[in-house]
Amino acid sequence: MTTPPPATTIKLGLIGDNITRSKSPRLHRTAGQLTGLDVTYDRLIPKDMGLSFEDVFRQAQDGGFRGINVTYPYKELATQKVTVTDPLVRAIGAVNTVVFDADGPKGFNTDYTGFMKAYRDVRGAQSPGVVCLIGTGGVGKAVAFGLVALKAQTIRCIDLDPAKAAALADALRALGSETVIEISTDAGEAANGADGLINCTPLGMVGIGGTALPAAAMQGASWAFDAVYTPVDTQFLQDAVNANLTVISGYELFFGQGLDAWDIFTGVDVNPSELRAAIQGEDL
C-alpha cells in the first residue's frame, strides 16, 4: 500500500462526465473529517473545462493532487496513463483509482472489490448462477471479473458493440475458470433464463435516463444489480423490485469502491459504519 507524502492538504478528485451529482466528494471529504485529515476533492469534468481527458489528467498530476478517481467514460483510457502492478487489474483493462507517486502514476481498480463486497453483503455465499451482464465497458469489465471470482455458472456479456463483448469474453476465458462465457448484442434475449441481471451501462443515470432492460424481460430472474447510483432508485431497479427480484443497489458498489480507494489514497483507517452514517442520504 502506498502512503501519501507529508502535506497539510490531501488533494483528491474525480474525472468523468455527468458527475455533478456524484457523492464521491462527500465520501472522501467526510472520511478526512472523521480521521482528522484536511482533504479536498474536486469534480473534474473535461468537457466543462474545455479540455481532453489527457489534459485534465496531466493538470491533476502536475497540480499537487495525491490521486484521482476515474469514472465513465474514461476508465479504460486511464490504463494508458498509469503503471498497473496488479496482474488482475491489467487483465480487467480498466482503472478507476490513480495515485500520483514520485516515480509516476499508479493505477488500481476498486470496482472489482467493491462489487464483490456488495454482492456478498446481500446474497452471502450463493452462486450468481447464470448472469446477463449488460455493458462491457470499464465497470462492466470489473464486475465480470468479480462474477468469475464469485463462481458464476455462466456470464452472458451483452454489448451493442460486438467487438467489446468479444474482447471481454476472451479476457475472462483466459482466466481458466469453469465459468462459461457467452456474448450477445440482445439484452432481452440474453435475460431469458438468467438468474442475475446486471446493468453496467450509463442508462438510468441522472441526465441520461432510460433502462437497459425491458421490465417484461426480468420475469423469472432471482436478483439484479445496477452499477448506476445517481439516482439510487433507477428504473432498472424499480422494475426488478416489481418483478420480486433481490436487489443490489449501485450505492453499495459506490461505497465499497470508495472505501478501498480511500485506503489506497491515504493508508489511514476509517470506520465504515461511521462513514456510511455520515454520508447516507446526502444529496450532492
Query: Is 41 noted as a catalytic residue in this protein?
Result: no
With pLDDT > 90 as the criterion, what percentage of the chain qualifies? 93
Does the pLDDT of residue 199 top 80, yes or no? yes
E-only strand ranges, the chain: 10-15, 39-44, 67-70, 97-101, 104-108, 130-134, 154-158, 180-184, 196-199, 223-226, 246-248
CATH of the domain at 25: 3.40.50.10860
Residues 259 and 224 grouped into a single domain: no
Run of H or E including 215: none
Containing structural domain, residue 20: 10-110+253-279
Q: What is the pLDDT of residue 8?
A: 77
**Cell triple for residue 226?**
445496477
C-alpha triplet 198, 17, 84: angle, nearest 5°: 75
Which amino acid is residue 88, in one-letter code?
L
Whether 99 is covered by a domain: the verdict is yes
- Name the pLDDT band for 270 (thresholds 50, 70, 90): very high
Question: What average pLDDT score do residues 207-215 get?
Answer: 95
| Distance (Å, whole) CA 145 – CA 157 | 12
Residues 189 and 83 grouped into a single domain: no
Whether 1 is covered by a domain: the verdict is no
The candidate with the shortest Cα–Cα distance to 134, out of 191, 49, 193, 175, is 191
Question: What average pLDDT score do residues 179-185 get?
Answer: 97
Q: What is the pLDDT of residue 4?
A: 52
- Name the pLDDT band for 3 (thresholds 50, 70, 90): low
Q: Is 29 helix (H, G, I), strand (E, B) or coil?
A: helix
User: 74, 112, 119, 251: which one is catalytic?
Assistant: 74
Residues 177 and 263 grouped into a single domain: no
Run of H or E including 173: helix 162-173
Residues 95 and 120 grouped into a single domain: no
Does the pLDDT of residue 119 top 70, yes or no? yes
Residues 85 and 119 grouped into a single domain: no
Residues 50 and 150 grouped into a single domain: no
Number of domains in the chain: 2
- Name the pLDDT band for 283 (thresholds 50, 70, 90): very low
Residues 198 and 75 grouped into a single domain: no
Question: What average pLDDT score do residues 231-258 get?
Answer: 96
